[in-house]
Structure 1
Amino acid sequence: MKGFIIALQFLTRLPTPAVAADGGAFARSMHWFPAVGVVIGALVAGAAWAGAHLDPRLGALAALIVWVGVTGALHLDGLGDLADASGAAHKDRERVLAVLADPHVGSFGVVAIVLQLIAKLVLLGLLVEARAFAGLMLVPFAARIGPLVWNWWLEPLHQGLAARFRSAIGPAILLAWAAALVTASWWVPALLVTPLLVLGWGWRVRRTIGGISGDGHGAGIEVIETALLLALVVSAAGGHGR
């Protein structure tokens, strides 16, 4: 439970009890990232459901506001930073690292964040109209399995958060969350694309910037969340087509 609270403090802006944590406990809290995703998903789906009582578009907007608010735009920040770094990827590694370390957001980052928010808003609107609240609740859960896989698989780009988490991830925890994902996919089959998305993002960051970092984790979560929302929309449309 301590690890879950630490993960909740790190990934959200929700009020939590104060807990003392050393470096090892902080690293092990990564085991709970997908569980935190369930909490985020429940709040997002609840906002969508409540807003939908007035209008589906209002439900989508409420869900997006809660999504950004509860996470403190943490992953959007990573998406912006990685977009800027990708723009410098044709140069040397030192330049890429310098852009990642720069706290300012460039034009690539601004465009990436705006497009991400628009994409989520449109997809949320379609899901609210389809009443796909259960699937929406599970999207943040599935996306947060990604960081566990990337930390286990990829070399850390630098000695930051990704490097601290790396030692805490092993095959047992990956198998446990894989089993949870398979179970969730029984009710929401669209989640079955998650492994392909996780592996695809890992391959991309390794090829583009050479490893994984905190920004790579945040950007990956955002990209996978949007891709899963799209998969849910396609699945819902297919169901209505039958």
Structure 2
Amino acid sequence: MDGMIAPIGAARIRAALGALRGGLAHAAKLALDIALPTLCISCREPVDGEGVCAACWGKLSFIERPYCPKLGIPFVYDPGPELLSMEAIAAPPAYARARAAVRYDDAARTLVHALKYQDRTDLAPIMGRWMARAGRELLDGADMLVPVPLHWQRGFSRRYNQSGALARVIARHSGTRLHGSALRRVRATEQQVGLSRAQRASNVQGAFQVSADRLQDVQGRCIVLVDDVLTTGATVDACARALLRAKAAEVSVLVFARVVDAPRAPI
């Protein structure tokens, strides 16, 4: 009997200490929230809860239906199901479908550049949630998420991959498995900013590869590629081709923002 008292007492002490630590952590967080109010992720003005202030929210242009079922480019009116945009017909990509949360405008650019170049990894949770919402139809049938990889040299200098940060959030919210090592960037490339459409395609040609030891992970799978911005689509198209060469069943693309030149009408 005496031998049972010590373990039971020790368990109670551990439980009490755990509860105390939890209470202290909650109190510390509350004190920090009072001392340092939550700030808008864009303009850094105080805001209630997590997210953006009303002014910055109003500046974001979320992409909603109607849009091209293949490229996700918004239409000016609803043409009915399955009618494609001119871009999708003129230059069909290797990937099956693309979806984006917002248009790439000044407001979206602020968020993307902060995440990508200013170590604002605190932006990933809300941006990733918006992406999970925008890509729900892609994620429902997906076997895995694959972030667009950085070359190791750029990854070393930047310290993290913004696409990987977004993909981790999407994985948590969608339940889709994240496979961060399925695709590699085997050749260092120039920054795509400032390059023409043809130069962008040439810049990333042959830059991505599925390693031999990852082929079984990819074969027969429906994959959703994750990136921050879709401009001409050259990077995600090159990634999709590498995955399809490795016998992926289908590749779709989910990005935070996409460039939309002007309102589009279907044909």
Same fold (TM over 0.5): no
Choose 1 or 2 for highest CA Rg. 2
Instruction: For CA contacts below 8 A with separation 6 or more, give which structure has more relative contact order.
Output: 1
